[in-house]
Amino acid sequence: MVAKIQKVARGYVIWKRAKRWAEIIHKIKAAVVTRTEEALTEALSEQPELPLGGTHLASVKEARSLLERLSEEKRVLTLITEAITDRDLAELQSAVVAAKEMSPVFEPAELKTATDLITVLETEKKCIATLKAAIEKREKGDLVTALDEGRALGEFVVKTDTFKQAEALKKRIDEEDETRASLKAACDARDYELIVPALGKMAEMGLDGEDVYSAGCKLRDELEAQAKAREQLRDAVESRSLDQVLAAIERAEKVELDGSDSAFAKAKELKTRLEAEVAMRKTLKEATEKNALADLEAAIGQANGMAPPLAETVTDCQELADAEKALGRLKEIQEAQAALGEAVANRKLGRLAAAMRKSKEVGVDMECKEMKDAEALIEELGAANEQLMKLDEAINNLDKAEIETNLKACKEMGLGDEEQCEQAVEALAKIDAQDKLAVELAASTEAKDHDKLKEQLAQAEKLHLQKRSEHTAVVEAAEKVLAQIRLDEE
């Protein structure tokens, strides 16, 4: 009975075990169907309850193999997704190789994404390499093409340092090209005000070794030289100095200043005028030295006939003044000689004496025919003229005391109606005027007053102040000071 009970008990235990084994195997098979790592791990955790640990069972082997496959797929998928996230080309390539080397090949959706991304990354890498090559060459066309390609590829290229460096280089090259173009345009226009800052910009950008910069510097120097020459021309024109005008024209020609330049044209026009003035002044001086009436009249006529007249452009022209003064003296001498001739013809003692006195005063040659005829007539008229001759001599000498004494004697002798007596009165008035003028002239000389000296010397010429020996020094001093003032002004 015991043996029977034991047999039944053993059968029940075996049945229970077999039932449990069947449940475990079913669970393992179900886990294989689900293809989840969690289900397989849980099902295989009960594997040790199977006979001999279940390692010999096909379902257990299949589950174990599937669990390993799922673990590998998970690992490879993690590699793929991390490589996609990191956008790491080497990791992507390694992960794709790992997926393809699995048997069967592991082909999750992420595998195509990874494969497509590899293509993109390789294209981006190639683009960046192209950018680097364009940067190295500093070739604008290659930069533009590579930058356009990079923009088309998107932010992962655009955000790279290489792309930013290429953009910066492209901008720099554009600025360089613009700066070169600005300098070239300024040079073409020969605009100094634009050339100078354009050259500064070129130097600032380190482009001062280029031919366009050298050409710009050369043109700048040329324009500066021409500007200085133009300024020298203006100064020379303002100075009206022939030497300065000639020097300024020579410099302008040396720096190739355009002949149509207004300052250049004015200087050349003035040069012609100044040369004509120099020639005219030489002619006047020669005529004055020759002291011939016809030559003086011709020279003065030419000077006044210039357009404009010489006197208008050469203030206080000494040669013209000297020529006019010499011509005036010659005309005075001519008139005095004519008066002598008339006086001799009329045989009037008073008129004769006056004419002789005037002739001596203006410097008529004492050996001329008119003077000889007059002297012969006076001798012919005899002693009656002696007193008048004394008076006449006193008048000629402008001796105030002698004039007054002899005038009184003439009146006492009944000669008061003679012309010499009238002339004596006029001579006394003239002496007073001369004395007064001498005082004023001395004061103007001391003060170096140009205008008063000029005016008073003209009066002295009319009053023949230089004929008075006591006033000769005053006149000479005044003339010397006036000449120095004119020299200083020139």
Angle, vertex CA 227, rays to CA 226 and CA 233, nearest 5: 85
Give the pLDDT confidence score for residue 367 in this predicted structure: 80
Q: Which residue has the higher pLDDT, 58 or 240?
A: 240
Residues 167-191 have a mean pLDDT of 90
Question: Cα separation of 145 and 13, whole Å?
Answer: 84
Question: Cα separation of 266 and 234, whole Å?
Answer: 8
List, as own/partner pairs, every contact residues 114-121 make where C-beta atoms lie below 8 angstroms and the sequence separation is at least 24, other chains included.
Answer: 114/80, 114/83, 114/84, 117/84, 117/87, 117/92, 118/89, 118/92, 118/93, 120/153, 121/87, 121/89, 121/92
Using alpha carbons, list the distances in angstroms from residue 92 to 83, 98, 117, 159: 5, 10, 8, 21
Measured torsion, CA atoms of residues 144, 148, 151, 157, in degrees rounded to the nearest 10 = -60
Give the pLDDT confidence score for residue 282 in this predicted structure: 94
Give the pLDDT confidence score for residue 378 in this predicted structure: 72
Residues 295-320 have a mean pLDDT of 90
Position of tokens 């009066």?
Answer: 459
pTM score above 0.85: no
Task: Decide if 243 contacts 277 (C-beta within 8 A).
Answer: no
Residues 131-142 have a mean pLDDT of 87
Measured torsion, CA atoms of residues 129, 132, 138, 143, in degrees rounded to the nearest 10 = 60
Q: Which residue has the higher pLDDT, 101 or 174?
A: 174
Q: How confident is the model at residue 13 (pLDDT cuts 50, 70, 90)?
A: low
Using alpha carbons, list the distances in angstroms from residue 111 to 25, 36, 92, 122, 228: 34, 20, 9, 16, 80
Minimal CA–CA distance to 362: which of 330, 321, 327, 395?
A: 330
State the CB neighbour count (10 A cutoff) for residue 155: 10
Task: Decide if 59 contacts 28 (C-beta within 8 A).
Answer: yes
Q: Which residue has the higher pLDDT, 219 or 377?
A: 219
Residue 34, CA atoms < 13 Å, CB-side half-sphere: 15
Minimal CA–CA distance to 207: which of 224, 171, 223, 183?
A: 183
Burial 266-294 (b: 16+ CB within 10 A, else e): ebeebbebbeebeebbebbbebbeeeeee
> What percentage of the chain reaches a pLDDT higher than 90?
12
Give the pLDDT confidence score for residue 479 in this predicted structure: 86
Q: How confident is the model at residue 39 (pLDDT cuts 50, 70, 90)?
A: low
Give the pLDDT confidence score for residue 215 in this predicted structure: 92
Specify the range with the lowest mean pLDDT, choosing from 209-213, 357-361, 420-424, 434-438. Answer: 357-361
Cα 301 to the chain's mean position, in Å? 47
State the CB neighbour count (10 A cutoff) for residue 2: 6
Q: How confident is the model at residue 374 (pLDDT cuts 50, 70, 90)?
A: confident
Give the pLDDT confidence score for residue 301 in this predicted structure: 93
Both structure tokens of 346:
């009329």
Q: What is the pLDDT of residues 71-107, one digit of tens each?
A: 666 777 777 788 778 777 788 777 777 777 777 776 7
Both structure tokens of 404:
């007054």
> What percentage of the chain reaches a pLDDT higher than 70?
82
Position of tokens 């093409």?
Answer: 145
**Residue spans per domain, the chain:** 23-135
Give yes or no for residue 138 having a pLDDT over 80: yes
